Amino acid sequence: MYPIMRVALIGLASVLLTSADSKAADLPKMTQKVLGELKLDPSLMNGLDDELKVPQAWLDAAAREGEVIIMGTWPEKQFRVMTQPFVERYPSIKLNYQRNAGTGRGMAVVMALSAGRVIADVLTSIADAYIQFQEMKAFADLRDLPGIKNIPSDYASSDGTWVSHKLSYRCMSYNTEKLSKADMPARWDDLLTNPKWRNGGLALTNQPNSWLLGLWETNGEQWGRDFTRRLFEELKPEQRKESMTAATALTVSGELFATIPSPEWQVQGFVDKKAPINYHCPEPVPITLSQIVLLEKSPRKNAGKVFLNWMLSREGQMMQYYDSYVVPVHKDLQIPPFVSEFVNVAGKQKNVRDESLLGSDMQKKMLEVWNKYWAATGRNR
């Protein structure tokens, strides 16, 4: 290589490295720390500046508002860790966070609105009161958030009244000492044809809304009725009163061969410890979304929008994963480690449950059939 050319290339490489280091150094200290701990290339944050470009008018108004009141499900400590980069980026916006039970986030806020009071600005996981909020036209339109383009269209409502900030798979876990990958159903209908799933080979917990409701909606009521009937009458599953997380732990112990539904994050924890458990998603893959909303009557709407936009950014999504191992909704983060390889949903048909199904006629019909069998079979434990 010619000496001049070599010097030029070395100089160019030096400039590029300096530029990359400069960009990494510009990130909040906590963001840099998390990238390092997760062993992620800083280039994962490329495009973040554009994602965080909100109108200056929002920032000016948010500074005057001074805070945003958030009600959610994150433990206090997790929320503080997760939002450290936001606090560094937006020091003029105080995050007034309150962890509340479902009724505190839902009906208590509805009742306050009915009385003309706004006790929160941003809410998460409001399924118990979604219909009431909707009837009151209580939600602000979020379609002007720059971050809305970061997530798939079916991860947000078509009218902009809610977006999702994380997703959960609601598939099945199985004990690898009792069952093999070859036993796993390719599609949900295949559960009904393999004799290994009969007479207690499968355990169910009483959470059909998290996996079966979306399948009823997608495949139709007749399919739903037939599938649910055959699920109970032909498979005779063991019906467990525990939560899905407790039932998943029983699958590890071998007391249960397989359980539906199971949270992927919990199975990941067991897999990391070399426990005899694995995860499988028949098609279509059930996905539940966690909503986050902004109230239309919020007096701190600009601060709320700045926070929501950050939550949808790759930085906010990475911090949420770091904090609680939940799967991001950001399009560019649908990769390992954010989506564990053992979940194995790449290329599979997805079934995203629309939150509007909660409280719908379809849900009432599904629960009528499910509850009839759940109460009548006598296999509850």
Q: Which of 161-165, 237-241, 376-380 has the lowest mean pLDDT?
A: 376-380
303 located within any domain: yes
Within 68-220, residue ranges assigned H as helices are 76-82, 84-89, 102-105, 107-114, 130-135, 212-219
Q: Which of 2-6, 191-195, 257-261, 356-360 has the lowest mean pLDDT?
A: 2-6
Same domain, residue pair 215 and 304: no
Instruction: Give pLDDT, residue 341.
Output: 76
Instruction: Give pLDDT, residue 24.
Output: 67
Same domain, residue pair 52 and 154: yes
Same domain, residue pair 107 and 18: no
pLDDT over threshold 60, residue 19: no
Same domain, residue pair 11 and 122: no
pLDDT for 285-326, tens place per residue? 999 998 899 999 999 999 999 999 999 999 999 999 997 888
Four-residue CA torsion sign, 209, 210, 212, 217 = positive
- Closest by Cα among 170, 186, 201 to 327: 170
Instruction: Give pLDDT, residue 23.
Output: 62
pLDDT over threshold 90, residue 184: yes
Same domain, residue pair 121 and 22: no
Q: Is 14 exposed, middle or buried (0-12, 13-18, 19+ CB in 10 A)?
A: exposed
Q: One-letter amino acid identity for 277?
A: I
Residue 126's pLDDT band (cuts 50, 70, 90): confident
Same domain, residue pair 234 and 366: yes
CB 90 within 8 A of CB 36: no
pLDDT over threshold 80, residue 102: no
CB 127 within 8 A of CB 288: no
- The average pLDDT across 218-229 equals 97
pLDDT over threshold 50, residue 13: no
CATH of the domain at 150: 3.40.190.10
More confident site: 104 or 56: 56
Instruction: Give pLDDT, residue 12.
Output: 41
Residue 346's pLDDT band (cuts 50, 70, 90): confident
12 located within any domain: yes
103 located within any domain: yes
Instruction: Give pLDDT, residue 258.
Output: 97
Instruction: Give pLDDT, residue 380.
Output: 58
153 located within any domain: yes
pTM over 0.75: yes
pLDDT for 51-72, tens place per residue? 999 999 999 999 999 999 999 9
Instruction: Give pLDDT, residue 302.
Output: 98
381 located within any domain: no
Same domain, residue pair 184 and 329: no
366 located within any domain: yes
- The average pLDDT across 271-281 equals 94
324 located within any domain: yes
Residue 4's pLDDT band (cuts 50, 70, 90): very low
More confident site: 67 or 201: 67
More confident site: 216 or 346: 216
Same domain, residue pair 24 and 116: no
Residue corresponding to tokens 């963001």: 31
Count of domains observed in the chain: 3
pLDDT over threshold 90, residue 10: no
pLDDT over threshold 50, residue 25: yes
Same domain, residue pair 101 and 228: no
Instruction: Give pLDDT, residue 22.
Output: 37
Same domain, residue pair 117 and 70: yes
**Cα gap 275→21, rounded to integer Å:** 40
Residue 101's pLDDT band (cuts 50, 70, 90): low
254 located within any domain: yes
pLDDT over threshold 60, residue 21: no
Instruction: Give pLDDT, residue 103.
Output: 57
Same domain, residue pair 36 and 64: no
Instruction: Give pLDDT, residue 138.
Output: 96
Range of the domain at 31: 3-45
Q: Which of 27-41, 53-67, 157-171, 336-350 has the lowest mean pLDDT?
A: 336-350
Name the token pair of 280. 């499988």
Same domain, residue pair 89 and 176: no
What contacts 54, CB < 8 A, 6 or more positions away?
A: 145, 146, 305, 306, 309
Residue 266's pLDDT band (cuts 50, 70, 90): confident
Instruction: Give pLDDT, residue 104.
Output: 62
SS3 308: helix
